[in-house]
Amino acid sequence: MNIIKYIFSKAFVRTLVKAGISALLIVAVSWISLKFYTKHGEKVLVPNLEGMTINEAISKLKESTLSYKLIDSTFVKGRSGMVYAQIPADSSFVKSEREIYLKVYRTIPPQKPVRFKVGEPLEIAKTKMLSKGFEIETKYQPGEFDNVVLGAYYGEKELRDGDLVDMGEKIKLVVSERKSTKVSLPNLYGMSLDEVKLSLGELSLNLDFPLYDGSIISKNDTLNAQVFKQIPKYFNGKKIRAGSAVNVWMKLGVEMPAEAILNVD
């Protein structure tokens, strides 16, 4: 009975009111503190990061109490490490500490295969290489046809179809150019292969694959071999078109001096 009387007494009501007020104060203080320390609900203006280096973009985001995350990237020569896109876009308002997604140009270029075929038209080779992200330079030399690929180089390195080169690098294509210029056919009889190459190169003529007779056995024999036959045949005053190919046959022990040979079969 005393408990029931106390519940309905003024003292109990005052105690209950005080407890309620204390609870409300605790909740209010906790909410205010949480908002103060976490900046709950605060909106931050997203800065424009496009065109910045990744380090500049990160520093800018830290100033704005925003974090970041890098997503898929691509490679463009001369723009490595630069931001080219962001999500959300600049001038958007987001919550503090929100992650901003950054797309950044890669700093290390991927390697791509160089695709070309000797003898194919220049435009086909260029299309294949440009699609891989390479820059193209062309060097013309006399040949039997116009705009036909004769070879490819990366710097001083001669390339083969499928060789890997860093994306964005410059590939030099050697391309044939048909010319009507006539040059004197040299007498190659008795020359070594190196001498043949030098002599033909000075006249813008091309060496076809040399052929060797049965006397050539070792690598040393190959180095000492001399020309004993050439096609086209040599005679004094003979001229052929610049860019033409010349075939030579090699063997050991060629004794007759070149000056004595006017037309060799």
The answer to whether position 265 is within a domain reads no
132/81 same-domain check: no
Residue closest to 252 by CA, chosen among 222, 230, 231, 208: 222
Residue closest to 233 by CA, chosen among 180, 201, 194, 185: 185
Of 52, 87, 104, the position where a domain reaches its end is 104
d(CA 66, CA 95): 8
The answer to whether position 121 is within a domain reads yes
Of 149, 178, 207, the position where a domain reaches its end is 178
Domain count, the chain: 4
172/242 same-domain check: no
Tell me which residue range forms the domain holding 212.
182-260
pLDDT tens, position by position, 113-172? 999 999 999 999 999 999 998 999 988 887 778 889 999 999 989 999 999 999 989 999
Q: What is the CATH number of the domain that holds 70?
A: 3.30.10.20
Verdict on whether the full-model pTM lies above 0.75: no
256/208 same-domain check: yes
pLDDT tens, position by position, 26-52? 766 665 655 555 554 578 889 999 989
190/254 same-domain check: yes
Residue closest to 67 by CA, chosen among 96, 38, 103, 105: 96
